[in-house]
Structure 1
Amino acid sequence: MERKILFDTETTGFDPDTGDRIIEIAALELIGDLPTGETFHVLINPERDIPAEATKVHGFTLADLEGKPKFSDVAKGFLDFIGDDPLVAHNAQFDFKFINAELKKAGFPEVGMERMIDTLEIARNTFPGMPNSLDALCRRYSVDLSERTTHNALLDCRLLAEVYIELLGGRQHGLGLAAETVTAQLVTYTGPASRTIRKVRPSEEEKALHKAFCDKIPGSLWESGKPPQA
């Protein structure tokens, strides 16, 4: 079964081109789109200040990261973990840009964009005109958000892993078997053979956004219930 790596970063800001740096990287190994339990997680000293606005998002101050390794110290470990496999992230352009800026700065080869799987793009295609942040998707799929008081790369990876399965159509692996087992690098994941189908119930805001989107499409299936006439 195919190996993928789902990952997330936390940063000092929005743009590495203006000096922003990565302060946290987390990654989960997926085999057959299911987590194996293998993870990569590091906190990083950004070698610069952390603006208060960024701290409000992820909760980290520079004092929290004193004594942590620099990106150049963890780059090889990260590259070894991700190997040559596809990389899954939410709003992946953002994370790829930061990862490649840091790799270039540290003298390592950049990660090819052809490896990118962006769950935000998948969500936009699945739910056009609706909010598709990680929080919104978790609520839509009834994924527990109670621990997400601030952005945390490892927790966000675990949440995204659940959302990613749902975006792909739900967990269908191992139907008809007593259990499903995925083995990789001496790590075994055992999960239930069946799943409860979750009914997606859009909020009133989501319904309004969807209607506004559909109104822009002449003769849309949603409005007429019939295919548009040629």
Structure 2
Amino acid sequence: MRQIVLDTETTGFNPKLGNRIVEIGCVELHNRMLTGNNLHFYLNPDRESEEGALAVHGLTTEFLSDKPRFHEVVEEFREYIRGAELIIHNAPFDLAFLNHEFKMMNLPPFDGHYGSVIDTLVQAKEMRPGKRNSLDALCDHFGISNAHRKLHGALLDAELLADVYLAMTRGQNSLSMDVEVEATSGGVHLEHVALADVLVLSASADEVAAHEDLLNGLDKAVKGNCLWRAAAA
């Protein structure tokens, strides 16, 4: 199954007031694995960002002035998301802006280009009723590091949301190691290798430390010892 974790940044908070998209970030999952086939655009909205929105993403008019406009990237974007299941945090917000952009270009509604939508905000509210369920709050809950997130960014937020979604639906806070390296038109290419030909490499000190950090994050998520700790014991 092909899923696209999608996020946007905008000049304001209401497309009906003429606000536009300034950034699109997409992260691809195939059968719940990160593929590395991501898509990212900065866009020139031909207008200023509202003060509140600018404080969120920090994308100034000067920075965006030489970036492509939405109509210049829409065909690549349409082809990329075609038929996929979208994963979005607070989906009505992003979908409203994308439908607005498509309408301005006299294109069929954006709703008709993808397969379905999973709203992780709705999922989080069902799992954690009465609690804060922003992306930052969910990263903290699942032990996903977002220390490098000083401002909102569509691609960065999509990458964090991919980890959050996988944690919410499978209890693991990251699948960054599960990157599909080789694919064919029929899917992932698997090659059988004789056990005698397998080269075993020991983990480095840095890798051992990173693994320990991962286990600590899992312990935090389950509020106790994760299954990996129990297996080791």
**Structure 2 length as normaliser, TM-score?**
0.75
Q: 1:16 to 1:121 in 2, by over 3 A?
A: same
Q: Distance in 1 between matches of 2:11 and 2:159?
A: 22
Alpha-carbon deviations, 1:82-102, whole Å to 9, x = none?
Answer: 111111110011001101110
Residues 180 and 136 (structure 1), Cα distance of their counterparts in 2 relative to 1, 3 Å cut: closer
The amino acid of 2:221's aligned partner reads: V
Q: Which runs of 5+ in 2 are unaligned?
A: 189-210, 224-233
Match status 1:153 vs 2:174? no
Kept after mapping to 2: 8 A contact 1:141/1:198? no
| Equivalent residue letter for 1:87 | L
Gaps of at least 5 residues in structure 1 are 189-193, 203-230
Shift in CA distance, 180/19, structure 1 to aligned 2, threshold 3 Å: closer
CA contact (8 A) 2:4 2:85 kept: yes
- Give the corresponding residue for 1:121: 122
Give per-residue Cα distances to partners, 1:182-212, cap 9 Å, x unaligned.
Answer: 4546898xxxxx974433379xxxxxxxxxx
CA contact under 8 A between 1:9 and 1:23: conserved in structure 2? yes
Please tell me whether residue 43 in structure 1 is matched to residue 64 in structure 2: no
Aligned to 2:164: 163
Equivalent residue runs for 1:42-191 within 5 Å: 42-112=41-111, 115-171=116-172, 182=180, 184=183
Give the drift of 1:170: 2.3
Q: Is the 8 A contact 1:28 1:157 kept in 2?
A: yes
Residue 117 of structure 1 aligns with an amino acid whose one-letter code is I
Output the CA distance in 2 between the equivalents of 1:124 and 1:133: 10
Is the CA contact 2:33–2:179 (under 8 Å) kept in the aligned structure 1? no
Match status 1:32 vs 2:31: yes
Q: How far apart, in 1, do the equivalents of 2:68 and 2:23 lie?
A: 11
- Report the residue type matching 2:126 in the other structure: N
Contact 1:6–1:28 (CA<8 Å) still a contact in 2?
yes
Which AA in structure 2 matches 1:7? L
Q: Find the aligned partners of 2:30 and 2:222 in 1 and give their Cα distance.
A: 30
Task: Give 1:145 deviation, angstroms.
Answer: 1.1
Distance 1:111 1:102 in 2: 9
Q: Distance in 2 between matches of 1:102 and 1:46?
A: 10
Q: Which has the higher helix share?
A: 2
Count of aligned residue pairs for this structure pair:
193
Provide the identity percentage: 39
How far does residue 112 in structure 1 lie from its aligned partner after superposition? 2.2
Determine the structure 2 residue equivalent to 1:4: 3
Name the counterpart of 2:208: none
TM-score (norm 1): 0.76
The C-alpha deviation readout for 1:146-193, integer Å capped at 9, x for no partner, is 110000111101100110001102249x9xxxx9664546898xxxxx
Distance 1:25 1:181 in 2: 22
- Cα distance in structure 2, aligned partners of 1:133 and 1:181: 26
For residues 184 and 55 of structure 2, what CA distance do their matches in structure 1 show? Answer: 37
Q: Given that residues 57 and 152 in structure 2 are in contact (C-alpha distance below 8 angstroms), is that contact kept between their aligned partners in structure 1?
A: yes
Show the counterpart of 2:13: 14
Aligned residue number for residue 212 of structure 1: none
* Partner secondary structure for residue 45 of structure 1: coil
